[in-house]
Amino acid sequence: MRFYQFDCTTEPDEKLRKCEDRNERRARVRALAEKVEAYQAKAPEGEGCFLSRIGENKLSGGLLTAGTGDPEKNACAFFDALGFLPKTLTVEEITLKGFRSLARSAYREDLIESDDMLLDAFGLELLTENNSPFLVYREKIVFPIASKTAVLREAEKLVCGDTLTPELQRIYASKKPARVFGHPVHYTVETDSETLAEKLSETLLAALLGRGRLQSAKAATVFPFSRRELDDEKYDLLYRCCEGGAVLVKLEAPESADDDLADNGTEKLEIVCAAAKKYRHKTLTVFLLPRACERLKMQLCEELGEISLVSLREDLLHADRARAYLRQLAKENGVQADESLTDRAETDKQYLPDELRSLFDEWFNDKLKTAVFPQYGAFATCRTEAAKAAPEGSAWDDLQEMIGLSDAKQVIGKALDYYKLQRMFKDMGVKQDRPAMHMVFTGNPGTAKTTTARLFAQIMKENGLLSKGHLVEVGRSDLVAKYVGWTAKTVQEKFKAAMGGVLFIDEAYALADDRGGSFGDEAINTIVQEMENRREDLVVIFAGYPEEMERFLDKNPGLRSRIAFHVPFADYSAEELCDIAMLIGRQKGVSFSADAVEKLYTVFEVARLQPDFGNGRYARNAVEQAKMNMASRLLTMDLAAVTKETLTIQDKAQSSKKGNRRKKYFYRAYALRRLRA
């Protein structure tokens, strides 16, 4: 199905020129509109015309045809029926969107009763932007290239000679057919560069159009893997709308080379391939794939069956070819290449054109600041400034001020540097796999895992890596439902609530125990799937005891492969516990005497040897008990003499007596034995 816009000049319309009154002009326009309706009623099946604008000696309008007839001949027949003799006539193919724009103009001029009149008649109204919530696509018009020399020159510029040039030779090997019989092959364009994918596919379509292998210059690019659901009826309609032309299908590979497509992605691929097979002789399909996409390509071939595919991709340039390309880029930019440019291409490495363009851009930038405009040589690039910049925001400062956690701070700092580097690569145009941000926090209770996770979420938000930066904390009971089939939905709801932030799964190993039968397995399987589907704006942090978490990950290799960082949380030392206690005291408006700190150190050294030691929680409880003892002591004093609340060794000693004295001495003796050993 093709859409055209026509413009023609005619002899001046005397009746229209003499219409001085607005009502008379409207009546004249209405009379022409009635002639259009009469012509449309008798028009051959699969054709439609309308006027969109009427001037004294100029007419414009739209033409729709589902056949293979000559559009100029159809336009002339239309003018003849209206009583006009065209002096000049231009007819050009347009997109469906352009055709509907003409129809809107005709409706405003009162030349048609409805701007969707013809689209409704051909069932195309479902493809308009207001009626197509389940289809994401864009259109363009391709201009044909008839000259073999010209199209080969374009292929050379694209650096795709290894695959595109042989196919162009095949296209021009046969004579131009009298009519299009069908498509012997369809195509895949495999590249990580969106710009190259567009130029390469456009060159291919221009050659096919120039040799008569395509009837229509219209090409629609569709995005089936967008977040919208895919409606197979509308997808089928899009292919029918593009009959005689081409549909470009933009596919995305699974996040991991070892993974299959998610369930919804597989379903969408099936719908895409079903339409491609149905219209394979009427509509050309070009699949746009990432370069490293063997698994996706295999799935595509399984769905397409008997269809033959020709693969097109950019060349890999090695050594001399890479240096020659760098010199070509320099020549195109009007500068003289030197060894500092060509030496950037290593001898034992292969390069894609995009990588060499990035190398050239860096060299050219340095050249401008050193040879052409040396007065700007001292200015660092934005990339350098960004790399040197410390993490932003108050949450990062709060994390650094926390006592201990040296390993956790170091790993989180490395994680932020890694994400920053990925973003810099993206800005440079270097294709990178989307980085996984999921983590495992391992440590005993009271080592600040939850607090650190909350700060980490805020840090990611403040540095532009997460959109919201909130924390959703869950355990097994929050994820595993009571009834079969409910667990997956429960897990999905928690992931949805955590989007833009961090989902913190505490004691995650409990999901893999034997409680609840297979419900835990269902939760884990759903977690793995959701981690992939929502990894763009969500971090999952699993937390628990070190040994249990290791066993948990060993049982679930799918989880381990999706976790980028393992963050250990060591037990606090006695010195760190004293610092924590004093910090808590300051926050509560009290302070410690030197004797109290010394006593705290002794108590903490013994407490750290207990199996159920609570780390920071123990320090907090000790401060709370001491505050209660202090309150009792102060109430026995002359309140007029109390000027400042001070924790003394008596308060701390009293609070320590509340514990099990026998257990305390046992662990102290145990500690001495270990030191002697």
The whole-number average pLDDT for the span 315-335 is 91
Split at pLDDT 50, 70, 90, the class of 667 is: very low
Going by pLDDT thresholds of 50, 70 and 90, the confidence category of residue 389 is low
Listed by start position, the domains of the chain span 2-127, 137-313, 317-379, 394-569, 574-676
Q: How confident is the model at residue 666 (pLDDT cuts 50, 70, 90)?
A: very low
pLDDT at 518: 63
Q: Quick check: do 394-569 and 574-676 share a fold? A: no
CB half-sphere exposure, 541, CA atoms < 13 A: 27
Does pLDDT of 51 surpass 80?
yes
Backbone CA torsion sign across 421, 422, 423, 427: positive
Distance CA(113)–CA(195), nearest Å, equals 42
How far apart CA 79 and CA 84 sit, in angstroms, is 5
- For the chain, the 3-state helix, strand and coil shares in percent, each to the nearest 5, are 50, 15, 35
Distance CA 597, CA 592 (A): 6
Residue 646 dihedral angles phi and psi, to the nearest 5°: -135, 125
Q: What is the mean pLDDT of residues 528-549?
A: 86
**Mean pLDDT, range 72-82, rounded to an integer:** 87
Average pLDDT over residues 101-126: 80
Task: Give kind and range of the element (H or E) at residue 587.
Answer: helix 574-587
387/378 Cα distance (integer angstroms): 17
Question: Residue 536's closest CA among 405, 408, 437?
Answer: 437
Looking at domain 2-127, its CATH class is: alpha beta
Fold adopted by 574-676:
Helicase, Ruva Protein; domain 3 (1.10.8)
Give the span between the Cα atoms of 88 and 76, in whole angstroms: 11
Over the stretch 131-152, which tens digit does the pLDDT of each residue have? 455 567 889 999 998 889 999 9
Banded pLDDT at 202 (limits 50, 70, 90): very high
Gap between the Cα atoms of 82 and 63, Å rounded: 15
Q: What is the mean pLDDT of residues 656-671?
A: 41
Q: Tell me what the mean pLDDT of segment 554-576 comes to.
A: 81
pLDDT tens-digit series, residues 218-255:
999 988 876 555 667 878 888 988 999 999 999 886 54
CATH T-level fold of 394-569:
Rossmann fold (3.40.50)
Token pair belonging to 169: 């030779």
User: Measured between alpha carbons, how far is residue 359 from residues 315, 376, 377, 385, 433 in Å?
Assistant: 17, 20, 19, 19, 20
Q: Which helix (H) or strand (E) holds 548?
A: helix 546-555
Q: Alpha-carbon distance 148 to 265, whole Å? A: 39
Q: What are the φ and ψ backbone dihedral angles of 293, each rounded to 5 degrees? A: -145, 35
List, for residues 567-619, the tens digit of each pLDDT value. Answer: 888 888 878 878 888 777 777 767 777 777 777 777 777 777 676 676 677 77
Place of tokens 């400062």: 397
Closest Cα partner for 101 from 73, 68, 67, 139? 139
Question: What is the mean predicted confidence (pLDDT) over 278-301?
Answer: 90
Q: Give the helix/strand (H/E) hosting 367.
A: helix 353-367
pLDDT, the chain, mean: 79
CA distances from 364 to 112, 342, 355 (A): 57, 12, 14
588 in Cβ contact with 623 (< 8 Å): yes
| Relative orientation angle of helices 594-607 and 616-635, to the nearest 10 degrees | 140
pLDDT at 22 over 80: no
Residue 426 pLDDT: 63
Instruction: Tell me what the mean pLDDT of segment 477-493 comes to.
Output: 83
Model confidence at 662, pLDDT cuts 50, 70, 90, reads very low
Tokens representing 643 are 């000027």
Domain 137-313 CATH (choose: 2.60.40.10, 3.40.50.300, 3.40.50.450, 1.10.340.30): 3.40.50.300
pLDDT over 70 (residue 393) = no
Average the pLDDT over 27-54 and give the result. 82
Specify the pTM: 0.59
Angle at 291 between CA 348 and CA 166, to 5 degrees: 85
What is the pLDDT, as a whole number, of residue 405?
81
**Cβ-proximal residues to 316 (8 Å cutoff; 6+ apart), any chain:** 350, 351, 352
Q: What is the pLDDT of residue 229?
A: 57
Distance CA 39, CA 234 (A): 30
Buried b (16+ CB within 10 A) or exposed e, 208-246: bbbbbbbbbbbbbbbbbbeeeebbeebbebbbbbbbbbb
Report pLDDT for 675. Answer: 36
